[in-house]
Amino acid sequence: MDISQEQWWQEAQNDKNGVILDVRTEGEWNEGIIPGAIHIDIYKGQGFIYKVDELDKSKNYYIYCRSGGRSGQACNIMQQMGFTNTYNLIGGIMEWDGPVVSPE
Protein backbone atom coordinates (compact mmCIF):
# COMPACT_ATOMS: atom_id res chain seq x y z
CA MET A 1 0.00 0.00 0.00
CA ASP A 2 1.37 3.43 -0.94
CA ILE A 3 1.18 5.97 1.87
CA SER A 4 2.32 9.57 2.26
CA GLN A 5 5.57 10.55 3.95
CA GLU A 6 3.88 11.97 7.03
CA GLN A 7 1.50 9.02 7.49
CA TRP A 8 4.29 6.48 6.82
CA TRP A 9 6.62 7.97 9.45
CA GLN A 10 3.88 8.49 12.02
CA GLU A 11 2.65 4.92 11.67
CA ALA A 12 6.18 3.47 11.64
CA GLN A 13 6.99 5.33 14.88
CA ASN A 14 3.82 4.27 16.67
CA ASP A 15 3.75 0.65 15.46
CA LYS A 16 5.24 -1.67 18.10
CA ASN A 17 5.04 -4.43 15.47
CA GLY A 18 6.61 -2.31 12.71
CA VAL A 19 9.87 -2.80 10.83
CA ILE A 20 11.43 -0.16 8.55
CA LEU A 21 12.97 -1.84 5.50
CA ASP A 22 15.42 -0.14 3.11
CA VAL A 23 15.61 -1.97 -0.25
CA ARG A 24 18.28 0.25 -1.87
CA THR A 25 21.79 -0.77 -2.89
CA GLU A 26 24.69 -0.93 -0.43
CA GLY A 27 26.09 2.33 -1.85
CA GLU A 28 22.78 4.14 -1.40
CA TRP A 29 22.40 2.68 2.12
CA ASN A 30 25.82 4.06 3.08
CA GLU A 31 24.74 7.59 2.04
CA GLY A 32 22.24 7.69 4.90
CA ILE A 33 19.21 5.82 6.18
CA ILE A 34 15.91 6.47 7.91
CA PRO A 35 16.55 5.71 11.61
CA GLY A 36 15.94 2.12 12.66
CA ALA A 37 15.93 0.68 9.14
CA ILE A 38 17.12 -2.78 8.21
CA HIS A 39 18.67 -3.33 4.78
CA ILE A 40 17.85 -5.90 2.10
CA ASP A 41 18.88 -4.89 -1.45
CA ILE A 42 16.07 -5.69 -3.91
CA TYR A 43 18.63 -5.82 -6.76
CA LYS A 44 20.06 -9.01 -5.20
CA GLY A 45 17.24 -10.92 -6.93
CA GLN A 46 16.98 -14.39 -5.40
CA GLY A 47 19.14 -13.20 -2.51
CA PHE A 48 16.45 -10.63 -1.73
CA ILE A 49 13.81 -13.40 -1.75
CA TYR A 50 15.90 -15.56 0.62
CA LYS A 51 16.45 -12.71 3.08
CA VAL A 52 12.81 -11.59 3.01
CA ASP A 53 11.70 -15.18 3.55
CA GLU A 54 13.55 -15.11 6.91
CA LEU A 55 11.49 -12.13 8.11
CA ASP A 56 8.52 -12.44 10.45
CA LYS A 57 5.34 -12.35 8.34
CA SER A 58 3.28 -11.21 11.34
CA LYS A 59 5.08 -7.84 11.46
CA ASN A 60 4.21 -4.66 9.56
CA TYR A 61 6.83 -3.51 7.05
CA TYR A 62 7.44 0.15 6.21
CA ILE A 63 9.46 -0.02 3.02
CA TYR A 64 11.44 2.66 1.22
CA CYS A 65 13.97 3.10 -1.58
CA ARG A 66 15.35 6.11 -3.45
CA SER A 67 12.18 7.31 -5.16
CA GLY A 68 9.41 4.79 -4.37
CA GLY A 69 9.68 2.43 -7.36
CA ARG A 70 11.77 -0.40 -5.93
CA SER A 71 9.95 -0.24 -2.61
CA GLY A 72 6.66 -0.58 -4.49
CA GLN A 73 8.06 -3.71 -6.18
CA ALA A 74 9.23 -5.00 -2.81
CA CYS A 75 5.70 -4.56 -1.41
CA ASN A 76 4.28 -6.59 -4.30
CA ILE A 77 6.88 -9.36 -3.95
CA MET A 78 6.37 -9.56 -0.19
CA GLN A 79 2.58 -9.72 -0.56
CA GLN A 80 3.00 -12.62 -3.00
CA MET A 81 5.16 -14.31 -0.35
CA GLY A 82 2.41 -14.01 2.27
CA PHE A 83 3.21 -10.71 3.99
CA THR A 84 -0.08 -8.94 4.64
CA ASN A 85 1.03 -5.52 5.90
CA THR A 86 3.52 -3.71 3.64
CA TYR A 87 3.58 0.07 3.31
CA ASN A 88 5.44 1.86 0.52
CA LEU A 89 6.90 5.31 1.20
CA ILE A 90 5.65 7.53 -1.65
CA GLY A 91 8.55 9.48 -3.17
CA GLY A 92 11.19 7.46 -1.33
CA ILE A 93 14.13 8.98 0.54
CA MET A 94 14.58 11.62 -2.21
CA GLU A 95 11.43 13.39 -1.01
CA TRP A 96 11.94 12.48 2.64
CA ASP A 97 12.10 15.43 5.02
CA GLY A 98 12.29 13.36 8.18
CA PRO A 99 15.45 12.31 10.02
CA VAL A 100 18.33 10.60 8.20
CA VAL A 101 21.27 8.99 9.99
CA SER A 102 24.45 7.18 8.98
CA PRO A 103 24.16 3.38 9.08
CA GLU A 104 26.08 1.83 11.99
pLDDT digits 0-9 by tens, 54-89: 999 999 999 999 999 999 999 999 999 999 999 999
The beta strand positions in the chain, using DSSP E, are 2-3, 18-22, 38-39, 60-64, 86-89
pLDDT in tens, 16-42: 999 999 999 999 999 999 999 999 999
Binning pLDDT at 50, 70 and 90, where does residue 3 land? very high
Break the chain into its structural domains and give their ranges: 2-95
Residue of 34, 40, 52, 65 with catalytic role: 65
Q: Are 101 and 35 in contact (CB under 8 A)?
A: yes
Domain spanning 2-95: which CATH class is it, in words? alpha beta
Q: Whole-prediction pTM value?
A: 0.97
For residues 41-52, give the mean pLDDT. 97
**Is 65 designated active site?**
yes
